[in-house]
Structure 1
Amino acid sequence: MSTPGMPLSAALIPDCTELKAHRAAYKRAKTNDAIFVCIARQGRRWKVELDAMSCSGPIIPDEAVTVLRSAAEALVLADTVTQANIAADYISMWAFESEQRAREIAAAFHAALYGFRQLYTAVPSKRRRP
């Protein structure tokens, strides 16, 4: 896992196809106060998962969720993924055709989550959630 507050590069995104690997990676993320990210094989395709509940920090603001959702929708329209779920604290996308593409997208969304959280912390919104 990276230094707290730092996104992972594509090469460092853990493969959590096996449940034991998923549990270990999530535990490392929590221990390091980091946003959890992984890829996992599902049949011949790959899934991307991110979970911001693994660390402390602000919830991603609605405006940022809108940007992330727009990016995910573009991936669906481009047939890069078949489905995506985007929320303020959790992202999942599947079915990527290649491990490399899943890693690239996982790293990009991981960096975006960190960036939005840092921006939100530095420039708090007057509409902060309770």
Structure 2
Amino acid sequence: MPTLGTPLPAALIPDCTEPEAHHAAYRSAKNNDAIFVGIARQGRRWKVELDAMSSSGPTIPDEAVTVLRSAAEALVLTDTVTQANIAPDYISMWAIETEQRAREIAAAFHAALHGLRQLYIAVPSRR
């Protein structure tokens, strides 16, 4: 069974503010068949971005996307993030107050996305 990379802890989430850093981090994720994750400074706030298309694993099923979307909505309701975009292969959240909080959120969603994907590989749906 493929492992599709490893979830990154908050301290290792790359700062992709500069385009070169973003390209390098995405290329590294792709070369390692891993889910891309990064943070980027946008003005005085931070953005979180995850992209599962950098790896060869399956698309996350709708049931799992619902779990991720619910978590993102909770962050919006508490004003931790102002906007979130959750799709089966891409997640972005922005206007996060601090770099540390962006790292924490990125690491949590990276681990969740990785785990849900591994679960889907182990227990495929009956579609």
Q: What TM-score does the superposition give when structure 2 sets the normalisation length?
A: 0.96
Q: CA deviation at 1:6?
A: 1.0
1:21 is aligned to 21
What do you get for the CA RMSD once the two structures are aligned? 0.9
8 Å CA contact 2:4–2:56 kept in 1: the answer is no
1:44 is aligned to 44
CA distance in 1, matches of 2:24, 2:101: 23
CA distance in 2, matches of 1:115, 1:4: 10
Matched, 1:11 2:11: yes
Partner letter of residue 117 of structure 1? Answer: R
Aligned ranges 1:48-127 → 2 under 5 Å: 48-127=48-127
Structure 1's unaligned 5+ residue stretches are none
Structure 2's unaligned 5+ residue stretches are none
Partner letter of residue 45 of structure 1? Answer: R
**Number of residue pairs matched by the alignment:** 125
Structure 1 stretches (4+) deviating beyond 2 angstroms? none
Partner letter of residue 79 of structure 1? Answer: D
Q: CA deviation at 1:5?
A: 2.8
Identity across matched positions, percent: 84
CA distance in 2, matches of 1:35, 1:7: 8
Q: What TM-score does the superposition give when structure 1 sets the normalisation length?
A: 0.94
